[in-house]
A and B are shown apart, each in its own frame.
Chain A
């Protein structure tokens, strides 16, 4: 779906990641000081903290690029630019 007709699908992806990232980050911060989940293998790597930050950043990026009304540099626009090269002949 294109912005002209409504929110881009990537905007919803951005919302989802921007909500999930901080939840995961907050849930894993207590584990930085003391072991909260000894049954989790490689807990010392604090994967939850890094993954939470990564998802938050990705969510923010998607929201920035696909905010409603924003037209330039959006993936949909880029797609449509590529895709609008009509083929010659029928169709």
Chain B
């Protein structure tokens, strides 16, 4: 108890909390542990533990889908990016998410769901066999658990800077809490807490943009103040500055945003990253599974209100914040902490605790997302085939549930180890984050060809995925060894780091697709009878034509897409 109090009450941060703030934080921890304890009785079979019993309604699956991505680093990172780059950061919430989420719901989800797979590597196994599946499963499991550690360290660092909390205290208390509730309740527990976190984030963060807009005199007042503070740049338009790399603070142009972000990166992440897809697989029927990403996309469109807008208001009312390196050298405040700084500016007692709890909850649910995805992929896609190969027999369902619990335990321990590794060598953080991006774009190429083109062969899937991943790593290393390579990859000498990510993703996807197509034509495809339920054209998809229009997923996808287009026009 004394360690707990010491951890909480260490001062020296930017913000100090009072009794109400601390009480709110402590109650949050008690509630999530209580939920884990309560849900253990509902988690008996493998389907219960790894897929939440496939009983979730579309609203719960949809909110969990969006919340798994809405981690605290996501919130703080994009608030900081909007301070740095202006409203361009909103592209990651709109064109960088909405079309891909709608595509997942309408086009891809039927195949994931009908195939009864428990994971994305599981789908690859059904479609391409063990090679591509194992490659994808090992890279995903390895990177997921490392990413979890990196995020954990970053969050602990934020808590140290903002609140003065001890690093060890933040890492161990939050990790053990996540471990306990995931080991007890599996994905069900993670989903419950993700929905709770979603409500908490809105309750804790919505007042910041409301009060911020009151202070600056509404949207027009905010834009006028930004122009006054930064007369030499356009920070409030989304598309009109994307004609050329040098016209905007991000150093990118429209092709990179539309094809790199809007197509490859976005579709890669939202349709093949098992961390988010797992939430949708928990839906109770196909219609719920199709609707969940569509509902998620509706909420995703609103997130800039609590992430991008506070960053923009920060540009208006707190000019002069600097980057992390400059802040460390000069002692000035960094825009990386703009979101908590804005919370401290507008939120009084209790409200500040709610805002900080929202950040902690975001971190914990992000970590829970990582470890649940890790334990599923480890148990079903890595351990199970190995177990079968060695023993020549299938283990019991209970055996796999126990393995899932152990994988959760070990996954959290590896995450903690990674966090300490990062503490001692900060550059590892950049490498791990870059590594994760290597797998996403090519994986999308492999999955989408496998799903939509029946001629794709197992060899094509494996070699395409490998070639795409290797080329992505190669391009990344090339730029590190020779920075002039950036101009070759992006096609412009004015391109900056953000453009590199977009174009690297685009090229690696193209290489993956070309290699897959080429190898597929050179190898023998599976007979169509073996592709039923896996590939478009070989699968009779269930029809929803008997449902009224307002109950059809395609109708709501259309509504969301129209709203998305309107937002682009408004903020053009």
Contact = CB atoms under 8 A, between A and B. Distances in A.
Interface of A: 1-2, 5-7, 9, 12-13, 15-17, 19-20, 23-28, 31, 36-37, 39-43, 45, 47-48, 51-52, 55, 75-76, 79-80, 82-91
Contact of A88 (B18, B285, B543): B543
Interface of B: 18-20, 23-24, 27-28, 31, 35, 38-39, 42, 55-60, 113-114, 188, 191-192, 195-196, 199-200, 203, 207, 211, 214-215, 284-288, 291, 344-351, 354, 533, 539-547, 551
Contacts of B287: 83, 85-87
A5 B20 contact: no
User: Shortest 6 CB-CB distances between A and B: which pairs?
Assistant: A27-B20, A24-B350, A89-B542, A79-B57, A87-B542, A27-B350
Contacts of A5: 42, 55
Given A48-B350, A52-B350, A75-B59, A41 B195 contact: no
A9 B347 contact: no
Given A9-B60, A12-B192, 11 more contacts: A16-B31, A17-B203, A26-B350, A36-B348, A39-B344, A42-B346, A48-B351, A85-B547, A88-B542, A89-B542, A90-B533
Contacts, number: 150
A43 B288 CA distance: 44
A31 B58 CA distance: 42
B166 to A, nearest CB: 25
A19 B39 CA distance: 21
Contact of A42 (B18, B195, B214): B214
5 contacts: A16-B199, A41-B211, A41-B346, A79-B60, A83-B287
B491 to A, nearest CB: 45
B542 A90 contact: yes
A26 B350 CA distance: 9
A13 B195 CA distance: 8
Contact of A89 (B35, B59, B200, B543): B543
Given A1-B188, A16-B199, A7 B38 contact: yes
A31 to B, nearest CB: 7
A23 B350 contact: yes
A90 B346 CA distance: 53
B203 A47 contact: no
A44 to B, nearest CB: 11
Contacts of A51: 207, 351
Contacts of A20: 24, 27, 203, 350, 354
Contacts of A41: 211, 215, 345-346
